Amino acid sequence: MDPKLVGAEESSDRNESSGHIYHLALDIGGSLAKLVYFTKDNDHCVNLALGLSHKENLAICNGCRSYPVLKGRLNFMKFETSKINECLDFIQSKKLHPGGTQHQVVSASHETNIKATGGGAYKYADLFKERLGISLDKEDEMDCLVAGANFLLKVVHREAYTYIDGQKEFVQIDHNDLYPYLLVNIGSGVSMIKVEGDGKFQRVSGTSVGGGTFWGLGRLLTKCTSFDQLLELSHRGNNRVIDMLVGDIYGGLDYSKIGLKSTAIASSFGKTISNNKELEEYQPEDIARSLLRMISNNIGQIAYLNALRYGLKRIFFGGFFIRGHAYTMDTISVAVNFWSKGEAKATVFAA
């Protein structure tokens, strides 16, 4: 499974030392490097607050996903790609690399290959070889992405859900009527893929305005130094201080003739034109909120237009940008609902 789709939970160190590490895989993107490894462990727990049980063969515990059938857990970590050496240091400290005492596959078969996807699998191949003796076995990113999405939608119960007005509703997937669908993967940039079956897909569109845009502009406009910090900041903000709304133009009124409410955004960041303020006078949380709204709205609109173009009924959104962040999901859902006039819904991967 592609780490970008499987999830983004960070593992704690608890119980890692007691388990045997069997598999390690990497996805090295333009902004973030994601690492996943499987730890053999017979201890399991179930988070009943999520309504999950052992019968569903899935539990979320201590920041990682536990699969009782496999008698172990998947552990996830992320690192800034620009600080790739921190990722290598982590692999070395956990003895995940060849020669590390815990890496069971390597010690048993003397293999030094590790599966990796993303552009960084090519860019940093020599670095992994020189520092850790690891040869990155490069897998095609889109192949892994689609295979992971199909697997999750077919096998994992309660995987896909809609998020509207703060309410999460899981979607029942009819395996006989799954294809075709539009897969929107939001990483540093955005890829939109028409999936017609196992191994049968085509990248039909995309946009350079994605997670990297949010993070990059956020770093320029605020003092945030990490993606998570910027997301947290946006949660506390008010985009109406920054964005020009329809009501700002029409004296607080709706533009009913063309279906625009007074609260609709007429121009992202537009209100700053008429405010005689310097950047330092704006609250960073308001800037972050407006930025997140602008990018999420744009992605939602482009996704629906592509679904409409190809006659696709289902749109699934995944990728690290979403991160289970409520405001991001809500904004994308509102955009799809608005442009489709309620005929389409945005469906998000839970993992």
pLDDT at 324 over 90: no
Residue 195 has pLDDT above 90, yes or no: yes
pLDDT given at position 45 = 45
Q: Which amino acid is at 120?
A: G
Average pLDDT over residues 295-299: 96
Strand partners, 280: none
Selection from 127, 346, 103, 323 nearest residue 227 by Cα: 323
Lowest-pLDDT range of 65-69, 89-93, 269-273, 345-349: 65-69
- The β-bridge relationship of strands 315-318 and 181-186 is parallel
Question: Where does the chain hold its CATH 3.30.420.40 domain(s)?
Answer: 3-139, 140-242+282-351
- To the nearest 10°, the Cα dihedral for 107, 145, 139, 77? -40
> What is the homologous superfamily of the domain 140-242+282-351 according to CATH?
ATPase, nucleotide binding domain (3.30.420.40)
pTM of the model: 0.81
3-139 CATH choice from 3.40.190.10, 3.30.420.40, 1.20.1630.10, 3.30.230.70: 3.30.420.40
Question: Average pLDDT in the 160-181 region?
Answer: 88
At residue 47, does pLDDT exceed 60? Answer: no
Phi, psi of 276 (to 5 degrees): -85, 70
